[in-house]
Chain A
């Protein structure tokens, strides 16, 4: 009754992946190396630093973002509990992977969001791709990723980027489109170039929305850590995975708690910063 679509598609995909691995393997390796260099540097810094420094840094960051002592102390307490759970080292590994993933997402997401805001055609093209990225199970693209980059941290980061970038693209697009038309028109009327309008008006005014996108991206990146650990990324995700493999519910819970605490820390800090950049905008709108 059905025509055989699956067979040819499967073979074609495999041939394509094989071709890419053979023909462009070196290029991907170079890319992977670059990412790895950054990741290793961040990871080493975090793991080798005395936990007290890291706690102090979290406190300072939270205070700079929110300007509230209580919030800063709460964030330090959350991080302290992670250490008390015995997962400090794993948490630092996870943070390193997350930071690199989020940086990559920003690097890709914001320019794409801007492009999408400027042209309806770009938006119409990007949108279904974003839907696909968010709905397709991550294992599906983990297979070719693992073939291209081998097992380990880099494919984990790429999988995270694929999963976590769409909301940033969408929110950047939305933020720029929602900038008051008259303000943009005013800067055009004063002879601003497109670049001046973008950097001086559109992006700064879209910043609350962009910050929200970055926040979402961070949360989604954290949601990926367990899956990422399946292809060899270390960290708290691995703790959960090991708990699963050994039937150790307690260990699973510890890992889960650590992930939640990390999420709280990153969420509160970025939210606080986001709402602070918003104070001078909301009232004007």
Chain B
């Protein structure tokens, strides 16, 4: 069962949301509703299921409703219609008290402009969530100190937020959110206000922390590169409607419509996609055999290349052409293990970018081997080239800004 589920969530801002809802149900669009009634359609029939342990990214331009959407998850905003379920329970039925308890225990939040309390020290800010739920000073400060250290701010416990740089302030925001121990972390454009370098450091830190803590993260951003980098899955929001939900590779390789396609056009695929997206499973695995038998085996599979395995695991890669050449040449190695090129291996989650130099040098397809030592696939230089060339060939629809700078 999904951890968080949104069912038919619609949000209308304005004087008479119910009346607006009736119009929207009758098929009135966002712009028409605004023109006729002055009401704003924030979200329209949003359905999402967020699984435990994933980093779920909601991506959209300003005005797409993404900040509205994330505020529905902890009811900073209540929907006009629909259900918000956490662990199968509809949080819209919660009383004020139950909602407070829910926010204290289950969900914490990181804000775009940090939302730190300027009159509290770093330590007191980090301890805020614990203080609110009534933990004793000593206990909460111990926890807070621990988190301040984990986000790399040891020594700044007694500083005030304004004495810190933006990146450091957001680390305080992150530590504050993590300190409550809530299993769901909501991040509203959390890194958008930071410098690019700091931003990518924070992304790395988030990914590392997530791998260690295994919490569920719902992350809002207007930056597709960021979404692709950190997201397990991505939902693309446009005018309050979810246009596509998928893994980064699915979004990049199979955009649901022109809007998404225009978005992904300028993405650096080599960075955004991992080896997994271009590898093909090896058709032919060979052990240390004679060249004749190896060639026969490869022909039988119709494979142009093969992975050579030994008792202790991966040995190298051979191509059919090489084996043939070796059979005809005199003085060439007679054993397959000697002929195999010990090409470097890559894990499936390596960005393609890092594999490119090796792919160009090795002269053979590169094997993809997971942490356990199993060969998962092969990456040919041609496949890499094709993947990277595709974007040049595409002609994207004009008029859609793909890299918005504003974050209002």
Give the contacts of A173-211 with B (CB-CB under 8 A). Answer: 180, 182-183, 185-193, 196, 200-201, 204-205
How many residues belonging to A are interface residues under a CB distance threshold of 8 Å? 22
B100, A193: Cβ atoms closer than 8 Å: yes
The reply on A15 being an interface residue by CB < 8 A is no
- Complex: A18 Cα to B102 Cα, angstroms: 57
Binds B, one of A47-55, A129-137, A241-249, A277-285: A277-285
A281, B76: Cβ atoms closer than 8 Å: no
Q: Which of B103, B112, B163 contacts A190 (CB 8 A)?
A: B103
B132, A284: Cβ atoms closer than 8 Å: no
Residues on B with C-beta less than 8 A from A284 are: 116, 118, 160-162
B119, A205: Cβ atoms closer than 8 Å: yes
Q: Which of B102, B115, B119 contacts A186 (CB 8 A)?
A: B115
Interface centre among A183, A191, A201, A280 (most CB of B within 10 A): A191
B132, A192: Cβ atoms closer than 8 Å: yes
A280, B103: Cβ atoms closer than 8 Å: no
Residues on A with C-beta less than 8 A from B176 are: 190
Give the contacts of B101-116 with A (CB-CB under 8 A). Answer: 101-105, 107-109, 111-116
B129, A191: Cβ atoms closer than 8 Å: yes
B119, A190: Cβ atoms closer than 8 Å: no
B108, A190: Cβ atoms closer than 8 Å: yes
Residues on B with C-beta less than 8 A from A187 are: 117, 128, 132
Residues on B with C-beta less than 8 A from A200 are: 117, 132
A281, B132: Cβ atoms closer than 8 Å: no
A191, B115: Cβ atoms closer than 8 Å: no
The reply on B150 being an interface residue by CB < 8 A is no
The reply on B133 being an interface residue by CB < 8 A is yes
Chain B nearest Cβ from A148, distance in angstroms: 42
Chain A nearest Cβ from B184, distance in angstroms: 12
- Complex: A190 Cα to B100 Cα, angstroms: 8
B129, A190: Cβ atoms closer than 8 Å: yes
Chain B nearest Cβ from A251, distance in angstroms: 48
Chain A nearest Cβ from B364, distance in angstroms: 54
Give the contacts of B87-143 with A (CB-CB under 8 A). Answer: 99-105, 107-109, 111-119, 128-129, 132-133
- Complex: A187 Cα to B99 Cα, angstroms: 13
Chain A nearest Cβ from B190, distance in angstroms: 12
Q: Chain B 12-31 against A: per-residue CB contact (8 Å), 1 yes, 0 no?
A: 00000000000000000000
Chain B nearest Cβ from A38, distance in angstroms: 31
Give the nearest-CB partner of B121 in chain A. Answer: A280
Q: Which of B101, B105, B119 contacts A204 (CB 8 A)?
A: B119
B109, A189: Cβ atoms closer than 8 Å: yes
Residues on B with C-beta less than 8 A from A283 are: 118, 162-163
Give the contacts of B148-190 with A (CB-CB under 8 A). Answer: 160-163, 176, 180, 186
Give the contacts of A87-146 with B (CB-CB under 8 A). Answer: none
A189, B132: Cβ atoms closer than 8 Å: no
- Complex: A21 Cα to B99 Cα, angstroms: 50
B74, A189: Cβ atoms closer than 8 Å: yes
- Complex: A185 Cα to B71 Cα, angstroms: 10
Q: A182-B111, A196-B132, A283-B162 are in contact. Are A191 and B118 (CB under 8 A)?
A: no
A191, B117: Cβ atoms closer than 8 Å: no
Chain B nearest Cβ from A143, distance in angstroms: 46
Chain A nearest Cβ from B162, distance in angstroms: 4
Q: Chain A 195-231 against B: per-residue CB contact (8 Å), 1 yes, 0 no?
A: 0100011001100000000000000000000000000
Give the nearest-CB partner of A205 in chain B. Answer: B119
Chain A nearest Cβ from B240, distance in angstroms: 20
Residues on A with C-beta less than 8 A from B180 are: 190
B132, A190: Cβ atoms closer than 8 Å: yes
Q: A191-B103, A191-B129, A283-B162 are in contact. Are A186 and B118 (CB under 8 A)?
A: no
Chain B nearest Cβ from A185, distance in angstroms: 6
Chain A nearest Cβ from B39, distance in angstroms: 19
Residues on A with C-beta less than 8 A from B160 are: 280, 284
Chain A nearest Cβ from B135, distance in angstroms: 12
A205, B118: Cβ atoms closer than 8 Å: yes
B119, A281: Cβ atoms closer than 8 Å: yes
- Complex: A185 Cα to B132 Cα, angstroms: 14
Residues on B with C-beta less than 8 A from A193 are: 100
B118, A281: Cβ atoms closer than 8 Å: yes
Residues on A with C-beta less than 8 A from B107 are: 189
Chain B nearest Cβ from A273, distance in angstroms: 15
Give the nearest-CB partner of A193 in chain B. Answer: B100
Chain B nearest Cβ from A280, distance in angstroms: 5
Residues on A with C-beta less than 8 A from B114 are: 182
Sample of 18 more A-B contacts, CB < 8 Å, known A186-B117, A189-B109, A192-B100: A183-B117, A185-B111, A186-B111, A186-B115, A187-B117, A188-B103, A189-B103, A189-B107, A190-B108, A190-B109, A190-B129, A190-B132, A190-B176, A191-B99, A191-B104, A191-B105, A192-B132, A284-B161
The 9 closest A-B pairs by CB, nearest first: A284-B118, A186-B115, A191-B104, A191-B103, A283-B162, A189-B109, A284-B162, A182-B115, A190-B129
Between-chain CB contacts (< 8 Å), 25 pairs = A182-B113, A182-B115, A183-B116, A183-B118, A186-B109, A186-B111, A187-B117, A187-B128, A187-B132, A189-B107, A189-B186, A190-B129, A191-B100, A191-B105, A191-B129, A191-B132, A191-B133, A192-B100, A204-B119, A205-B117, A205-B118, A283-B163, A284-B118, A284-B160, A284-B162
